[in-house]
Amino acid sequence: MILIKLGGSVITDKSQYRTFRKDVMARLASEIAQSGQSVIVTHGAGSFGHIVAKKFYINQGLIDFNQVPAIAHVQYDVRDLSQMVVNQLRAANIPAVSVAPGSCFVMDDGKLIATDTEAIRALAHMGIMPVLFGDVLMDRAKGFGICSGDQLMELLCDIFKPDAIVFVSDIDGLYTDDPKTNPDAKLIPEVTKKTLEEIRTGSTVDDVTGGVVNKMEAMLRMCEGGREVALVNGNVPGRLLALLSGEDVPCTMARGERYDNQRQEG
Ligand code: IPE
């Protein structure tokens, strides 16, 4: 089974409030269906979540009660987006159902607490794809907060122990700097613990590479046991399908150590 996160920057126009990129989502759904792989999809919120969440400081938790209607507002919008995503998956003959994390999980000071995952497991067991997404969750310490699609990927990784993981983004992979502003930025084809240290100590470390470091850390956490975790460009038609079909494509691949290697070394 392969776990896929569709980034909000691919399935929405992040600069325009509530702009769903329906054609892109339809193509990605058909690439997933054509691959013939068993897949579980999680998606980001893009302009259905970030714009209003930022305006009302939702990620800081409860500051004042004017934020409360905004929580329901964002939750409404991301559920709407998720229905649109599911619509396209179903149009590609994938039986999928949207599962709202804010309605079944909570957080504790930003940490996702998922005590009951029975329904998600049972859906998948029945051959129905549970589709989770970045959402506003109630938080035991802060009142509420944002749970990202990436946090959900780590949870789903623990539950389903997938063979591989793919993050679908709007760039070819991780770069040493922001390729949109720095022409000297270089694609990082492979992430290991060593590359992470090099980036961390590199002279170009700034906010953008800080984001890169976080993403690398998350990718490395998920590739335990030799599982491949890839970051690939979903805006290039056919690239996700090629990756799912085992072809060599431009991307960033995180590789962990296999348990058998670790045993040999130890
Ligand atoms: C964000 O989810 C959720 C909200 C803002 C409510 P993600 O962080 O996974 O979304 P993208 O992929 O960056 O858009």
Alpha helices (H) along the chain: 8-11, 22-35, 50-55, 67-91, 101-104, 118-125, 149-160, 193-201, 207-222, 239-244, 259-265
Between CA 147 and CA 138 the distance in angstroms is 10
CA of 50 to the centre of ligand 1 (A): 6
* CB contact at 8 A, 18 and 76: no
**What is the distance in A from the centroid of ligand 1 to the CA of 44?**
4
Please write the tens of the pLDDT for every residue from 121-159.
999 999 999 999 999 999 999 999 999 999 999 999 999
From 149, 160, 38, select the one nearest 101 (Cα to Cα).
149
Q: How far apart are CA 224 and CA 233, in angstroms?
A: 23
- Reported as a single tens digit per residue, the pLDDT across 16-27 is 999 999 999 999
Distance separating alpha carbons of residues 100 and 123, to the nearest angstrom: 14
According to the model, what pLDDT value does residue 209 have? 54
Strands 111-113 and 106-108: antiparallel
Which protein residues touch ligand 1 with a CB less than 6 Å away? Answer: 7-8, 44-46, 49-50, 53, 74, 78, 134-136, 146, 148-150
CA distances from residue 26 to 32, 33, 86, 93, 180 in whole angstroms, order as listed: 10, 11, 10, 11, 26
Protein residue whose Cα sits closest to atom 4 of ligand 1: 49
The predicted-structure confidence for 54-111, as pLDDT tens digits, reads as follows: 999 999 999 999 999 999 999 999 999 999 999 999 999 999 999 999 999 999 999 9
User: What's the pTM?
Assistant: 0.92
User: What is the enclosing helix (H) or strand (E) of 39?
Assistant: strand 39-43
151 CA: nearest ligand 1 atom? 9
169-208 per-residue burial string, b: 16 or more CB within 10 A, e: under 16: bbbbbbbbbbbeeeeebeebeebbeebbeebeeeeeeeeb
> What would you report as the CA-atom Rg of the chain, rounded to the nearest whole angstrom?
18
Q: How far, in Å, is the centroid of ligand 1 from the Cα of 261?
A: 36
Query: Of all atoms in ligand 1, which is nearest to the CA of residue 12?
Result: 14
| pLDDT tier for residue 186 given thresholds of 50, 70 and 90 | confident
Specify the residue with its C-alpha closest to ligand 1, atom 3: 134
Task: In whole angstroms, give the CA distance from residue 109 to residue 199.
Answer: 28
Q: How confident is the model at residue 264 (pLDDT cuts 50, 70, 90)?
A: very low
Å from CA of 149 to ligand 1 middle: 6
What's the confidence (pLDDT) of residue 263? 40
- CB under 8 A, 24+ apart: contacts of 109-113: 109/139, 109/140, 109/141, 109/142, 110/139, 110/142, 110/145, 112/137, 112/147, 112/151, 112/152, 112/154, 112/155, 113/140
Q: Please choose from 67, 112, 148, 155 the residue to mutate so as to test ligand 1's pocket, defined by most ligand atoms within 8 A of CB.
A: 148
